[in-house]
Amino acid sequence: AQKITQTQPGMFVQEKEAVTLDCTYDTSDPSYGLFWYKQPSSGEMIFLIYQGSYDQQNATEGRYSLNFQKARKSANLVISASQLGDSAMYFCAMRGHVNTGNQFYFGTGTSLTVIP
Amino acid sequence: NAGVTQTPKFRILKIGQSMTLQCTQDMNHNYMYWYRQDPGMGLKLIYYSVGAGITDKGEVPNGYNVSRSTTEDFPLRLELAAPSQTSVYFCASRRTSVPTDTQYFGPGTRLTVL
**Per-residue confidence (pLDDT) for residue A98, from 0 to 100:** 63
d(CA B19, CA B63): 12
Residues B7-10: contacts with CB within 8 Å, 24+ apart?
A: B7/B109, B8/B109, B9/B107, B9/B108, B9/B109, B9/B110, B10/B109, B10/B110, B10/B111
* Cα dist from A25 to A2, A14, A93, A98, A110, whole Å: 8, 28, 9, 16, 15
* H or E stretch at B25: strand B19-25
Q: What is the mean pLDDT of the segment spanning B101-113?
A: 93
Shortest alpha-carbon distance between residue A89 and chain B (Å):
10
CB atoms within 10 A of CB A77: 27
Tens-place pLDDT, residues A67-114: 999 999 999 999 999 999 999 999 999 998 766 667 899 999 999 999
Cα gap B52→B73, rounded to integer Å: 9
The answer, yes or no, to whether residue B73 has pLDDT greater than 70, is: yes
- Find out whether A17 and A111 touch, Cβ atoms under 8 Å: no
What's the N-to-C CA distance of chain B in angstroms? 36
pLDDT of residue B55: 95
Closest alpha carbon to B105 in B45, B65, B18, B64: B45
- Put simply, whether B39 touches A (Cβ < 8 Å) is no
Measured distance CA(B108)–CA(B35) in Å, rounded = 9
B108 touches chain A (CB under 8 A): yes
Q: Which residues of A6-32 are buried (b: 16+ CB within 10 A; e: fewer)?
A: beeeeeebeeeeebebbbbbebebeeb
Neighboring chain A residues of B56 at a CB cutoff of 8 Å: 101
Which has more pLDDT, B114 or B102? B114
Mean pLDDT of B66-88: 96
Could you give the CA distance from residue B5 to residue B37 in angstroms, rounded to a whole number?
Answer: 17
Q: A104 contacts in B (CB within 8 Å)?
A: 33, 35, 43, 45, 103
The residue-averaged pLDDT of B44-65 equals 94
At residue B56, does pLDDT exceed 80? Answer: yes
Average of per-residue pLDDT values in chain B: 93
Chain A contact for B44, CB < 8 A? yes
Beta partners for residue A110, in sequence order:
A90
> Which pLDDT score is estimated for B1?
64
User: What confidence tens digit (pLDDT) does each residue in B4-54 have?
Assistant: 999 999 999 999 999 999 999 999 999 999 999 998 889 999 999 999 999
Residue A91, chain B, CB below 8 Å: the answer is yes
For residue B83, give the DSSP letter. G
**Closest CB from B43, B56, B104 relative to A106:** B43
Q: What is the pLDDT of residues A4-52, one digit of tens each?
A: 999 999 999 999 999 999 999 998 888 899 999 999 999 999 999 999 9
